[in-house]
Amino acid sequence: MIELKGLTKTYAGKRVVDDISLTLESGEFGVLIGPSGCGKSTTLKMINRLVPLSGGRIVLNGDDVTDLPAEQLRRRIGYAIQSTGLFPHWTVAQNIATVPQLLKWPKSRIDDRVDELMAMFHLDPVEFRHQYPHRLSGGQAQRVGVARALAADPEVLLMDEPFGAVDPLTREVLQAEMKRVHQQTGKTIVFVTHDMDEALQLATRIALLNHGRLVQYDRPIEMMVTPADDFVREFIGQADLGLKLLSRRWVHQYQRAPSLEHHATLPGLDHCWQLDDAGRPIALEGARLDDDSERTEVKPEWTATPEMSMKEALSRMVWYRVMVLPVIDDQGRLIGEVGMQGIMGIQAANGMPAS
Amino acid sequence: MNGTIPGVPRLRAAAAGNLRLGALIVLLVALTLGMAQLEPLFRALFPDLGNPLYRRDSFLNLMLAHIGLVLVSSLISVVVGVAAGLFVTRPAGREFEPMVSSLAAIGQTFPPAAVLAIAVPLAGFGFAPTIIALTLYGLLPVIQNTIAGLGTVPATTLEAARGNGMSASQILMRVELPLAMQVIIAGVRISVIINIGTATIGSTVGAKSLGTPLIAGLVGNNLAYVIQGALLVGLLAIVTDLLFERLERHYAFGD
H or E segment to which residue A29 belongs: strand A29-33
Domain end (from A180, A213, A246): A246
| Chain B touched by A75 (CB under 8 Å) | yes
pLDDT confidence of residue A43: 95
CA distance A14 to chain B (A): 24
Q: Are residues A225 and A274 in the same domain?
A: no
Using alpha carbons, select from A153, A125, A142, A152 the residue that is nearest to residue A178.
Answer: A142
At A160-180, the pLDDT tens digits run 999 888 888 888 889 989 989
Q: Kindly determine whether residue A135 and residue B3, on different chains, have CB atoms separated by under 8 Å.
A: yes
| Chain A touched by B9 (CB under 8 Å) | no
B205 pLDDT higher than 90: no
| Chain B touched by A81 (CB under 8 Å) | yes
pLDDT confidence of residue A131: 92
DSSP for residue A238: S
Q: Are residues A55 and A173 in the same domain?
A: yes
Q: Kindly determine whether residue B165 and residue A99, on different chains, have CB atoms separated by under 8 Å.
A: yes
At B90-128, the pLDDT tens digits run 988 888 988 888 887 887 787 878 888 888 888 888 888
A346 pLDDT higher than 60: no
CA A161, CA A85: separation in Å to the nearest integer? 12
A355 lies in some domain: no
CA distance B181 to chain A (A): 11
Residue B75 C-beta-side C-alpha neighbours within 13 Å? 7
Q: Which of B164, B167, B251 to mutate to test the interface with A (most CBs of A within 10 A)?
A: B164
- Report the range of poorest mean pLDDT among A104-113, A275-284, B58-67: A275-284
What CATH number is attached to the domain comprising A256?
3.10.580.10
B164 chain-A contacts, CB cut-off 8 A: 74-75, 79, 98-99, 102, 148-149
A97 pLDDT higher than 90: yes
CA A89, CA B252: separation in Å to the nearest integer? 8
| Chain B touched by A319 (CB under 8 Å) | no
B175 chain-A contacts, CB cut-off 8 A: 87
CA B237, CA B10: separation in Å to the nearest integer? 25
Domain end (from A227, A246, A265): A246
Q: Are residues A172 and A147 in the same domain?
A: yes
Q: Residue B51 in 3-state DSSP?
A: coil
Q: Are residues A184 and A274 in the same domain?
A: no
Q: Kindly determine whether residue B175 and residue A87, on different chains, have CB atoms separated by under 8 Å.
A: yes
Backbone angles phi, psi at B238, to 5 degrees: -65, -45
Reported ipTM: the value is 0.77
A84 chain-B contacts, CB cut-off 8 A: 156, 160
Structural domain including A67 reads 2-246
Residue partners of A7: CB distance under 8 A and separation at least 6: A17, A19, A20, A21, A43, A46, A53, A55, A56, A57, A58
Backbone angles phi, psi at A32, to 5 degrees: -95, 125
B178 chain-A contacts, CB cut-off 8 A: 89
pLDDT confidence of residue A300: 83
| Chain B touched by A273 (CB under 8 Å) | no
- Report the range of poorest mean pLDDT among A93-107, A226-240, B69-83, B175-189: A226-240
Q: Are residues A289 and A321 in the same domain?
A: yes
A180 lies in some domain: yes
Average pLDDT, chain A: 87
Question: Structurally, how many domains does chain A consist of?
Answer: 2
Sign of CA dihedral A10, A13, A16, A21: positive
Q: Are residues A223 and A324 in the same domain?
A: no
Burial of A254-286, coded b for 16+ CB within 10 Å and e otherwise, reads: bbbebbeeeeeeeebbbbbbebeeeebbeebbb
Q: Are residues A267 and A288 in the same domain?
A: yes
B39 pLDDT higher than 80: yes
A299 lies in some domain: yes
What is the percent of chain B where pLDDT is above 70?
96
Amino acid at the residue A255: Q
Q: Are residues A232 and A276 in the same domain?
A: no
Q: pTM here?
A: 0.76
Partner residue facing A83 (CB), from B156, B170, B254: B156
Using alpha carbons, select from A355, A277, A284 the residue that is nearest to residue A326.
Answer: A284
Q: Are residues A186 and A322 in the same domain?
A: no
CA B18, CA A248: separation in Å to the nearest integer? 63
| Chain B touched by A52 (CB under 8 Å) | no
Q: Are residues A140 and A262 in the same domain?
A: no
Q: Are residues A135 and A162 in the same domain?
A: yes
For every residue of B144-211, DSSP letters joined together read: HHHHHHHHTS-HHHHHHHHHTT--HHHIIIIIIHHHHHHHHHHHHHHHHHHHHHHGGGGGGGT--STH
CA B140, CA B138: separation in Å to the nearest integer? 6
What CATH number is attached to the domain comprising A185?
3.40.50.300
Q: What is the dihedral of CA B138, B141, B145, B146, to 10 degrees?
A: 30
Pairing of strands A29-33, A205-210: parallel
CA A234, CA A255: separation in Å to the nearest integer? 32
Using alpha carbons, select from B153, B165, B174 the residue that is nearest to residue A49.
Answer: B165
In chain B, what are the domain boundaries? Answer: 12-250
A52 lies in some domain: yes
A74 lies in some domain: yes
Using alpha carbons, select from B178, B93, B190 the residue that is nearest to residue B145.
Answer: B190
CA A4, CA A64: separation in Å to the nearest integer? 10
At A36-81, the pLDDT tens digits run 889 999 999 999 999 999 999 999 998 999 998 999 999 999 999 9
Which superfamily is assigned to B12-250 in CATH? MetI-like (1.10.3720.10)
Partner residue facing A132 (CB), from B3, B157, B166: B3
H or E segment to which residue A213 belongs: strand A213-218
H or E segment to which residue B69 belongs: helix B59-89
At B217-245, the pLDDT tens digits run 998 888 989 999 999 999 999 999 999 99
Q: Are residues A120 and A50 in the same domain?
A: yes
